[in-house]
Structure 1
């Protein structure tokens, strides 16, 4: 992505339900552009899903003690 804080997430999972559940976990924390469906590669097991996150949005945590550690500048490069 061309801006800091915008992330593309490619998910590989065993099935649709798992891939979509993982996407929902991401959406519960950050603003997302959700995928509407998964894709399958012919002859390959499992499914793939791509979604886009905006990490610049504030976290929506259920409880303050669930806070995620800050991301270091070195980790984002």
Structure 2
């Protein structure tokens, strides 16, 4: 049985991905939300590390920190941008 080059290449790639443990596709780590408090007592959530210098900031307003952790609609964009 004669096979053409593209078919052999595809079979080789599929075989390599299914047998090679280093070929697993890991999901990128999503940063957890850290709950911080301002000097006046206002709580807020922060994704990612605090930068050493000022940088653009994205605000998401929810009813409470607890709602932000319960409903992914509030946290999805923050995690993607962190």
Question: What's the TM-score, normalizing by structure 2?
Answer: 0.24
User: Greater share of strand residues, 1 or 2?
Assistant: 1
Question: What's the TM-score, normalizing by structure 1?
Answer: 0.24
Relative contact order: is structure 1 or structure 2 higher (C-alpha 8 Å, sep ≥ 6)? 1
